[in-house]
Structure 1
Amino acid sequence: MTTKYENAVLDDQTLIEGLKSINPVWGDLAVRVAGEVWGKPLLDQKTKALITIAIDQMSLNVNGEGNPFGAHVDMALKQGATYEEIEELIVFASMYTGFNKGATTMGALNKLRHDRGDI
């Protein structure tokens, strides 16, 4: 799933359509704001995508309707990350977010992979 983008938000039409499908006005705002921060030059797109997964884990925003975890995993994979790197990130972040959040996040990743047939 390696389709590296210069801007992981603005260059991903599927993501843009998904955000706008939640609500057109909200989606437009989310695309413009996220597109701007994803366009900042000092951190590469893969690093930013991995950071978003760690933030999802920290806030336990990995399950349920409307959660961005799957989209963030897709962003990381499109930027060249592997599932193994994402797993290591979850293990590493567990030291700082807590093991229960790590277990929940790893479980969500496992379910995502299983549902997609990527296991």
Structure 2
Amino acid sequence: MPDTEPTPDERYRRGLAQLEKMGGGSVTAMLGKKQEISPDLADITVEFPYGDILSRPGLDLRSRQIATVAALIALGTAPVQLRAHIDMALGVGCTEEEIKEVIIQMAVYAGFPAALNGMAAAQEVFSAREKEGV
């Protein structure tokens, strides 16, 4: 019997469960705002990246978050998402030193402006977590 495609509702539930594992409170808050403006975009944002891709086997959450942080730094156009994923990387066991090393390595591949912006975003996250006692 062939496998059936998961329904959007199943993908959404799987995506929310993955976000919860990742400590994605900042993403969940951001999605809440999007839910008011465009419920479809908010749903797709949970279903596809978190329900379909980030919940796949093969990489642990630490590795996925390191890759995501590096990609967002290289992109240089997603500061809100970068801060959210730095926060989630710390939440799944990455250290501040590891985040800094990823950012320094991105200077080679994405350029110094991207790395400097990434370090500024990281500092914002580190400071906010320190104030919150996390």
By the TM > 0.5 criterion, same fold?
Answer: yes
Q: Does the alignment pair 1:82 with 2:95? A: yes
| Letter of the 1:52 counterpart | T
Is 107-116 or 88-97 further displaced after alignment? 107-116
Q: Is the 8 A contact 1:8 1:45 kept in 2?
A: no
TM-score (norm 2): 0.70
TM-score (norm 1): 0.78
Deviations 1:61-108 (CA, angstroms, capped at 9, x unpaired): 353xxx211210121111100111000010112111111211111122
Partners of 1:46 and 1:83 in 2: CA distance: 13
Is 12-21 or 78-87 further displaced after alignment? 12-21
Unaligned runs of 5+ in 1: 1-6
| Letter of the 2:68 counterpart | T
Q: Secondary structure, in 3 states, of the residue corresponding to 1:41? A: coil
1:28 — aligned with what?
A: 43
Q: Which structure shows the higher helix fraction?
A: 2
What is the number of equivalent residue pairs in this alignment?
A: 109
Q: Secondary structure, in 3 states, of the residue corresponding to 2:106? A: helix
| Letter of the 2:46 counterpart | V
Deviations 1:41-62 (CA, angstroms, capped at 9, x unpaired): 1111111111111111111135
Max Rg structure:
2
Partners of 2:96 and 2:78 in 1: CA distance: 16
Larger RCO, structure (CA 8 Å, separation 6 or more)? 1
Q: Is the 8 A contact 1:57 1:97 kept in 2?
A: yes
Q: Is the 8 A contact 1:62 1:69 kept in 2?
A: yes
